[in-house]
Amino acid sequence: MMNFKNYKPLLNLFILSAVVYVLHKLAFYVFKINDQGFHYNVETLYLLFFAIASVLFIVLMTVKQKSFDNVGMAFLLGTSLQMVLCYLILRPILQDKIQNTSIEKTNFFITFILFLLIETVLTIRILNEKQ
């Protein structure tokens, strides 16, 4: 059974995701970008990436309990699977020939990179913990 300390990466993920979301929405407001015509609005992307990252951290915490030495490899495998999943999610945007989707593509990649950065930093924290 996991104790509260093991949930710290999920709490940090939630806090960092919320802060980045607010900044993202603020940027959209300042630059007057309307995401209503997007395939995936900002909220949908953040919920999706947060869910994927949460599953990744639950797996990492489980691996950490069973074999601390395999956390890094589990992160690499999880990130690779996440990239495949994100490509599948991105395909409708890439295949859209009707709308100009350059802003939406940029929005998707920025969100992807932000979550990848958050996941990497939090995984480094897990790896730096003393057992």
Domain range spanning residue 58?
4-128
**Contact of 89 with 48, CB cutoff 8 Å:** yes
- pLDDT value at residue 130: 65
- pLDDT value at residue 46: 98
**Contact of 20 with 114, CB cutoff 8 Å:** yes
- pLDDT value at residue 91: 94
- pLDDT value at residue 125: 93
**Region of 32 on the Ramachandran plot (φ > 0 left; ψ -120 to 50 alpha; else beta):** left
16 CB-near residues (< 8 Å, 6+ apart): 118, 122
* Rounded average pLDDT per 10-residue block, the chain, 131 residues: 74 96 97 91 97 96 93 97 96 86 93 97 90 55
Overall domain count for the chain: 1
